[in-house]
Structure 1
């Protein structure tokens, strides 16, 4: 079943990969001068940018994971918490803050507020994407309606669901994954990004993800 997930979601040539490519085209349409911009990517990875058809003048990736050993000279990668940035990063300014499917994983309302504060302080423009809570399929496990189940039921499903991105080793591991995944709705995104335009990425007429966009 993992090969099924890869074929439909994970690979660049998969259905999911084509959706990501269309989202990238949308980003360039909204920010046509992206190749001249300095960008900070909160919670992303260098591969997103090295595999893109067009790259900004400079990209700074900040992620809690250990940085890769080698990246192109136009990319900087630092280990850090986007909700509590080190002073040397928080004091910098960029043209654009980019974040893809991160805010739903930072850990509760207070942490999402801190994340949004980082977005607002770092640049005059932003592109913050997150899966939409009320799309009928939970996107991390590719499981219909999973986000509406009680926590224990979600964890039990996470342990056994064959299309999960990473299989849980035990119940505690499954609970960790479930509790660190909180899908957001429109009201929440408008609250965290009040000056932004809220775009809807649709699938079969239904909103699949939300993108808070602020043009400088």
Structure 2
């Protein structure tokens, strides 16, 4: 499985994956110019785009990609929230195929209209990737995952210290807690879903202000004993 991080932060999220036969973009939260640059101007090689939800750091380029003829897949709620953008509507727990990938969407917990996470399986390599970001927690467990790309947004001690020192507003902190995964929540999920098939874990969407990248990576690596990478850009 090829994994290329185009962006992973509140400034914009987009990840390209490929099994050598099919190429997908996971989220499109960067300006279309940056997405083209990240794809080395081979946007036409994309077989599809999976969008988790309508917030601009995940969906900024959706309209542009649809106009370019790239198939975009998202929930009806996401397309409704994006108003003019219309692509291929998908539903939680209803699998569909894009080339050699089978995609299983599932519901997550976020302040969006109908947010989703994805399990993506390749019929070419047999690999199975979980992609989930922007959720309070993950309401499911999964079997035989080979790759996990998962949000690890904040550490409560850093977040609430930032509130005490006036760097973060309390109402903003409350939203973070209600809509994003903490290090503790991410660790709990990973420990429940680690298996002999799991090859690597990617930590996504770290908060610039409310996280310590090195501490998070070290904590996850120690807990699950699997190679851990932090998605940056």
Which TM bucket (shorter chain)?
0.3 to 0.5
Q: TM-score, normalising length from structure 2?
A: 0.42
Normalized per residue, the structure richer in strand is: 2
